[in-house]
Structure 1
Amino acid sequence: MARLLDNEQEHGHYKDILDRGCAAFDKLLWNGKYYNYDSSGRELSNSVMSDQCAGHWFLCASGLGEGEFRVFPKEKIQSALKSVFNLNVMSFAQGQMGAVNGMRPEGTPDRSSVQSDEVWIGVVYGLAATMIHEGMQEEGMRTAEGCYRTVWERLGMAFQTPEAYCEKNIYRSLAYMRPLSVWAIQLALNMSQKDHTTNGDGTRA
């Protein structure tokens, strides 16, 4: 916005804040494979959170995920997404129910709270969209499919999609709004297709 307003002083001010924030985020949370749940150093601080790349998803959906606007290093985002797919998705319920919110690095669900042991449908769809933005379309669709089949085919809640469910088919908060993030998947697919059919300047390839 500062650039659009030709205000380099403001641009420099906020870029400095962003650069320092990025450095702190990376230093405090990155563990070599994914971003830790928090920086407390406690026993469960290295749990794998399915929604850890949400900030990057927001940037991608806004068209700010690449080039000079990219905030998170591509290799780290892809490593984190692969960790989430392997642990939160494929190591949970035989890979058939989407992504559990919290997973321990050894492949067991984080049951330290009610929320960590749940699947949040809207979060899963956002995660799937993030994977698609990063070129992981197969993983993204597999992740979303688990939620779709659980809600529509196993629970019979197609028209009253809940906020959450757990592995034992217990659900919470019917007709929740967050699952509307399913449309983020369509947006990611559209943007991905556009990237493959146009050059960097927007002209057709």
Structure 2
Amino acid sequence: MSASDGASVSAPRLIVLSGPSGVGKSTLLAYLRTHNPEWWLSVSATTRFPRPGERHGVEYYFVSRAEFEAMAAAGDLLEWAEFAGNLYGTPRLPVEDQLAAGRSVLLELELEGARQVRQAMPEALLVFLKPPSWEELVRRLTHRGTEPQDVIDARLARAREELAAESEFDVSLVNTSVEEVAAELVALTRAPSPRPAP
């Protein structure tokens, strides 16, 4: 199944994907890039420096803090936030251009970013990706082996807050397998909106 299956019967849709750390968002996005190239996955702007192998315009748009702040002031960002001293945001124009060209767009955002997009583009469909269980989420975070316990504890505390906000989203999907969730996301581009138009 590919996103093009539904392209002729429905308008392109802006989908915002959110969920707690460790739920599998990055794995899902990698799968969609490979299996559903018809979708456009948004590229964020950031003020942080590129890591080895990262390319401008591919992983991120790398900009100065002054450039970023000018974009925010001009309303050129759908959403933005600051994490660990760096600014991150979603440029508005590329999203609008892709939708106008008939491509469905997927944004992967934190909870606050999803809320900002809901304000900026009320027609966006907010999708919450959740784990099969709390125990499974704890297992995924603790078995990464890449972070100290205090970081894991902070992620779990944040995850509880994010899970409590599930009702703010239009659709909830349980990440039991990446293939099944990807198919459900593709189906959302063909289905009528699950909520009334604003």
Same fold (TM over 0.5): no
Q: Of the two structures, which has the highest relative contact order with CA contacts closer than 8 Å and spacing of 6 or more?
A: 2
- Of Structure 1 and Structure 2, which has the larger fraction of its residues in strand? 2
What TM-score results when the alignment is normalised by the length of structure 2? 0.26
Q: Which has the larger radius of gyration?
A: 1
- Of Structure 1 and Structure 2, which has the larger fraction of its residues in helix? 1
